[in-house]
Structure 1
Amino acid sequence: MWDTHLVVAALRADRADVESYARVLSHVLGDALPPGMVEVERRRGLFGRGGEPVAVRVHGQDRLLELRAGKRGGVEAEAHQVVRGVVISRRAVTVEQWLELLAAELTGLAERDAAASAALGRLLNQ
């Protein structure tokens, strides 16, 4: 139903930092995604308030996708294989690979859930 290449292109558009991805995943798609699927880690701000996002984790059916601010700027990505809630492997991936894995998770969810499908349609302007 959904073309993962279109989803990747929509997610990739002008996003080069964790904050952009956090905004898209938590605001644009957040209401349609299952509770707890997207986790945003923030640097503590003034008086303990939430600061800027430093990591985004997307919990899929059998994987955890993590995108975080790199130590020297930019973005670092990892894909973790999960079995019954336990990470059994992790590997560094490129941001492009991370986006492809995320698109596959989102399209799979959209095929099973009408609200997720509608949110994905809004992201793709369809």
Structure 2
Amino acid sequence: MTSPHDPADSLDLLTAALRRDAADLDTYAQVLTTTLADALPPGSVTITRKRAMADRLAGREGRVTHVEVALGEQRLVLDLAAGRPEALLCREVRGVVLSRRPVPLDEWLRELATSLTTRAASDTRARAALERLLLDE
């Protein structure tokens, strides 16, 4: 049995937490974007929303349709506009995208969890945001 502080266990828990609400895309996008916004520095996460007239009248932000997470040379892209998530892993250097690779959602989540876990190891704010995500059942 591994210890509760085993990095592999933490990564598995985070991946499971990020995957938890994936069946309901609207809820999933809301949880994911809130967690990312709390865990990463400003400007690292770009969120595109579609606001229907009902959203505007009710003062809601609208439905998340696109999420981009920039982590160093890695850019993780999640497109939710088509009704099912389409995930891309991109490598970007000095603003130029050198490669784009479509991946299954599970692989995208694993990459995101790995990056967030690495960041949380040296960033108190990121660690606190991830702990909230893991404890939110």
TM-score by length of 1: 0.84
Mapped to 1, the partners of 2:111 and 2:51 lie a distance apart of 29
Give the gaps of 5 or more residues in structure 2: none
Alignment-derived partner of residue 70 in structure 2: 59
Alignment-derived partner of residue 117 in structure 2: 107
8 A Cα contact 1:21 1:56, kept in partner: no
Alignment-derived partner of residue 46 in structure 2: 39
1:124–1:83 distance in 2 versus 1, CA, 3 Å: same
Alignment-derived partner of residue 90 in structure 1: 100
Deviation at 1:96, TM superposition (A): 0.2
Matched residue SS, 2:120 = helix
Residues 10-69 of structure 1, C-alpha deviation per residue, up to 9 Å, x if partnerless?
A: 100131355334322332342332001111111243399553111111111121111112
Mapped to 2, the partners of 1:46 and 1:70 lie a distance apart of 17
Mapped to 1, the partners of 2:27 and 2:110 lie a distance apart of 17
Quick one: which of 96, 121, 127 aligns to 1:117?
A: 127
Residue identity (%) = 44
Give the gaps of 5 or more residues in structure 1: none
Mapped to 1, the partners of 2:135 and 2:32 lie a distance apart of 16
